[in-house]
Chains A and B, each alone.
Chain A
């Protein structure tokens, strides 16, 4: 195990899990289907990736993309791999990786709390930051809260794909003289918008 991990050897070591590619800005990344996630994860674990670092969910209009980062401490060249998968928004469930990396516990709860992704097989799938009776998932783009201050610039450059966010920004009002009045105004707009 104490040898270098490289892309040529990876295919021999993990034949079923798919190919790791080098992505710009990220590094090594492995994209898998939702149903293959557990298999890919256990393959990575066997290949020496033993330190689970985080899972990040990104809310896109029709799906939530999950990015995991796992690190190998056993290899000489200390490398990390991003494991990526995608869950549809109408059924945001995915296999939990707690059985493979116990450290995924809180990270998955965080993603559940803020994005509403349900991790199947997690021992304690409950909210971690927000109160237990909170309604909604704050990091979803369509989440509306009176207290969110939306900054007024950058509204024209929104691409068409991110409709939900663009709408939210466009409702931001023009500047009202008093700073606190403006906040109240925004809050009202956000309410009527949702």
Chain B
């Protein structure tokens, strides 16, 4: 009988303790965590990694090329072969990229390409809404890459050098 009473007391106690905690949580201010996502954009960290993008510095580099020299180190660093780079074949012209293609269907947004870039011409953008209706729209060519909204994130290598 005593055991039963003890059990009874313990069971009711845990109910009260539980309700106490949930009520306090529920009715205290400052605990709201829900984001109304499509209407309110989340606050992204400065280093947020979205799809890779080429950097265009206004006034300095042409709109067609960005500051990429087409060295191909990003393509080499990529673990999934999603970047294809072609350099200008013309020997006379300055070292510039002819085509730079990103296959976002394969990209796993690891950021190794941005780290490998010696020119800091390639950074990880802040784009995360990449859904499209057709798969081939995820293969970004040079124009598409340069036309994207620019949120410049410091490349990870430059950050570590500064420190």
Which residues of A pack against B, CB within 8 Å?
149, 151, 153, 175, 177-180, 182-183
Contact = CB atoms under 8 A, between A and B. Distances in A.
B106 A179 contact: yes
Contacts of A183: 81
B103 A177 contact: no
Contacts of B139: 179
Contacts of A149: 80-81
B99 A179 contact: no
A182 B101 contact: no
A153 B84 contact: no
A180 B82 CA distance: 9
A177 B81 contact: no
Given A177-B86, A178-B101, A179-B84, 5 more contacts: A149-B80, A149-B81, A175-B84, A177-B84, A179-B101
A180 B103 CA distance: 8
B75 interface: yes
A178 B83 CA distance: 9
Interface string B17-38: 0000000000000000000000
Contact of A153 (B76, B82, B83, B106): B76
Contacts of B101: 177-179
A164 to B, nearest CB: 23
Contacts of B84: 175, 177-179, 182
> Most chain-B CB neighbours within 10 Å: which of A151, A178, A179?
A179
B86 A179 contact: no
A178 B82 CA distance: 9
A182 B81 contact: yes
Contacts of B81: 149, 151, 179, 182-183
A177 B99 contact: yes
18 contacts: A149-B80, A149-B81, A151-B81, A153-B76, A175-B75, A175-B84, A177-B84, A177-B99, A178-B84, A178-B101, A179-B83, A179-B84, A179-B103, A179-B106, A179-B139, A180-B103, A182-B81, A182-B84
